[in-house]
Amino acid sequence: MIQLESVSKAYKTSTRPALDDVSVDVDKGEFVFLIGPSGSGKSTFLRLLLREEVPSKGRVSVSNFDVAKMPRRKVPRLRQTIGCVFQDFRLLNNKTVSENVAFALEVIGKPKHTITKVVPEVLELVGLDGKADRMPHELSGGEQQRVAMARAFVNRPLVLLADEPTGNLDPDTSQDIMLLLERINRTGTTVLMATHDHSIVDSMRRRVVELDHGRVIRDDRRGVYGVGR
């Protein structure tokens, strides 16, 4: 589903490459933690998959897309197969919960009858049925992240990228979000989650890819955050 082959990424402003000869292969339906300290290259990794960046060297593919080589006009189609959640939720504060979710479908031209059918379904999936008409500021952090996840998942992406989705949440709420991610993963969606959160990684016992200084220093099938850390 996701393949990086000897991928390097250097930024002009930095002497050290953000990613240095990285090769990772993620199968369909896998759940993978991407861990490592700040500046280790996690964000660059995710940005390459979304084609927010183009690698300096190597090959990146997501589903059937040759991400680095695809023409610009095809990028929207790539992004429609990927859902994204972030630490800061990125909700539209002037829209209600259901409008926020519907927005993701409206802007890719989905017909109205599809939207009115699908949005309540996905809100129920993330446990927000009954809060469809609330504004984001009326919700707790955990609820806001659920809205963001509903938005990321509403178009049934093949891959869900989560960039520190629990970074702003307390441990209990984080646990709820992880359960939700697992549920999404069980629908067959490949989940790639960048995180700093030891306890979550340790409790989930999923595949762990650890980056340091832009290199893959560990790739465990059923890993923990780190021994002795």
Partner 1 sequence: MRASFVFSEVVTGLRRNVTMTIAMILTTAISLGMFGGGLLLVRTIDKMQASYLDDVEVTVYLTQDISANDQNCTAEPCSSIRSALENNQAVESVVFEDRNEAYERFQRIFEGQPELVELARPESLPASLHVKLFDPERSEVIVQEFGNQPGVANVDDQNKFLDRFFDLLNSGRDGTFIVAAIAALAAVLLIANTIQVSAYTRRTEVGIMRLVGATRWYTQLPFLLEAVVAGVIGAALGVVGLIGVKYIALDQIFEATGGAIPKIEMVDILFPVAPVLLGVSILISAITGYVTLRAYVRT
Residues found near partner 1 in the complex (CB under 8 A)? 50, 72-73, 75-82, 84, 90, 92, 103-104, 106-109, 112, 151, 155
**Rounded-to-integer distance, Cα 128 and Cα 100, Å:** 13
Kindly tell me which of 155 and 175 has the beta carbon lying closer to partner 1: 155
Least distance in Å: CB of 46 to partner 1?
Answer: 11
Kindly tell me which of 161 and 169 has the beta carbon lying closer to partner 1: 161
Least distance in Å: CB of 15 to partner 1?
Answer: 25
Tokens 């697992």 belong to residue: 182
Kindly tell me which of 75 and 224 has the beta carbon lying closer to partner 1: 75
Tokens 């090959």 belong to residue: 59
- Helix %, strand %, coil % for the chain, to 5? 35, 25, 40
Least distance in Å: CB of 107 to partner 1?
Answer: 4
CB 191 within 8 A of CB 184: yes
Cα dihedral 219, 57, 159, 41 sign: positive
**Rounded-to-integer distance, Cα 158 and Cα 32, Å:** 14
Least distance in Å: CB of 188 to partner 1?
Answer: 19
- One-letter identity of residue 151: R
Kindly tell me which of 37 and 76 has the beta carbon lying closer to partner 1: 76
